[in-house]
Amino acid sequence: MLWILTAIIASYLIGSIPSAYIFCRALKGIDIRTVGSGNVGATNALRVLGKKWGIFILFLDILKGLLPVLLLGNITISKTTLLTNEQLRFLIGLSCISGHNWTVFLSFKGGKGIATTLGTLIGFACTIPGLNVILSLLILTWLLIFILSKTVSLASIATSALLPVYAGLFRQSRFLIIASLVLSLFAIIRHKTNIIRLLNGTEPRLKFKKK
């Protein structure tokens, strides 16, 4: 149990590293919470810092989800038999996403968790058989919706909603279907203000500075 608790806490702290806040402060002296959407995530960083730094921060946020699921998962699964591989990696991933969404370093105000959730799912796909196809479908779904709408939030919400659907269609275990539903709800709830703007027709499309 000690190993499991240590992995969960470490994962939360890794997820809590506010990449967008750090780089906006370092590069422009800006508190990202006071500009753009106020969201501490890669999309808002892209708007504030431009394409190059926005993509770099996106990569870091994905990495925050991937490394704990892979590395902490591998270490912890070898130390305990209390949880299955799926259960342990899900708890680690969920803890990491929670850290990104409610970072302890910024008074629990963070991002919306899409990039970190993607990193978590990549970690799942590397360690749990049968998830590669679902991950590929999710990425293609997001890209298709974004290309058609130019709206990051719409692509993220729709793709999140389809995660448990894909898990069911591809006959994943009952636990993974439930886990995918939890991740889906996490992402959708974090986008509640975006959903309101989408319904009102006021959600902005993605625009960013070149420099």
The domain segmentation of the chain, as residue ranges, is: 2-200
Q: How does DSSP assign 48-60, residue by residue?
A: HH-HHHHHHHHHH
pLDDT of residue 208: 46
pLDDT of residue 207: 62
Distance, C-alpha 166 to centroid of its chain: 18
**Token reading at 186:** 């996490």
Per-residue pLDDT of the chain (211 residues; tens, 9 = 90+): 889 999 999 999 999 999 999 999 999 999 999 998 888 999 999 989 999 999 999 999 999 999 999 999 999 988 888 898 999 999 999 999 999 999 999 999 899 999 999 999 999 999 888 899 999 999 999 999 999 999 999 999 999 999 999 999 999 999 999 999 999 999 999 999 999 999 998 888 876 444 4
Residues 164 and 121: their CA atoms lie apart, in Å, by 12
Length of the chain: 211
For residue 25, CA distances in Å to 18, 45, 97, 184 come to 11, 11, 22, 31
Residues 91 and 97: their CA atoms lie apart, in Å, by 10
Residues 40 and 100: their CA atoms lie apart, in Å, by 9
Q: CB atoms < 10 A from the CB of 160, how many?
A: 26
pLDDT of residue 12: 97
pLDDT of residue 98: 96
Residues 176 and 167: their CA atoms lie apart, in Å, by 7
Buried/exposed code over 113-148 (b: 16+ C-beta within 10 A; e: otherwise)? bbbbbbbbbbbbbebbeebeebbebbeebbeebbee
pLDDT of residue 206: 76
